């Protein structure tokens, strides 16, 4: 799956290494089941309501991340090296 918007992959970079197996499974389902990747963006930014089947603590974490309270610049997908970094 290639995501058109960088939000889910930036969220993954920051959060995957802290997530439980249950949360990882929920995240995997979230990024693989919706037919339109932009739906994830709209749900995360609360432009559209999240369907009940995707509402979870992981979706809540993604919504919090989307608020970008640290005002970080998020213009592109992260490099994939983070997938090989040891957990923090």
The stretch 44-73 carries a mean pLDDT of 88
The dihedral through the CA atoms of 20, 22, 8, 86 has a sign that is positive
Per-residue pLDDT at 10: 83
User: Domain ranges in the chain?
Assistant: 6-69
Mean pLDDT over the full length of the chain? 81
Of 14-23, 37-46, 52-61, 75-84, the least confident: 75-84
Q: Which residues, at least 6 apart from 60, have a Cβ–Cβ distance to it below 8 Å?
A: none
% of the chain residues with pLDDT over 90? 42
């Amino acid at each position: 799956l290639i995501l058109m918007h960088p939000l889910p992959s930036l969220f993954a970079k920051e959060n995957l290494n802290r997530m439980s197996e249950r949360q990882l499974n929920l995240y995997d389902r979230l990024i693989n089941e919706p037919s339109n990747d932009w739906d994830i963006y709209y749900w995360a930014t609360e432009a559209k309501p999240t369907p009940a089947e995707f509402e979870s603590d992981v979706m809540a974490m993604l919504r919090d991340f989307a608020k970008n309270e640290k005002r970080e610049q998020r213009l592109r997908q992260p490099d994939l090296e983070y997938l090989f970094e040891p957990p923090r």
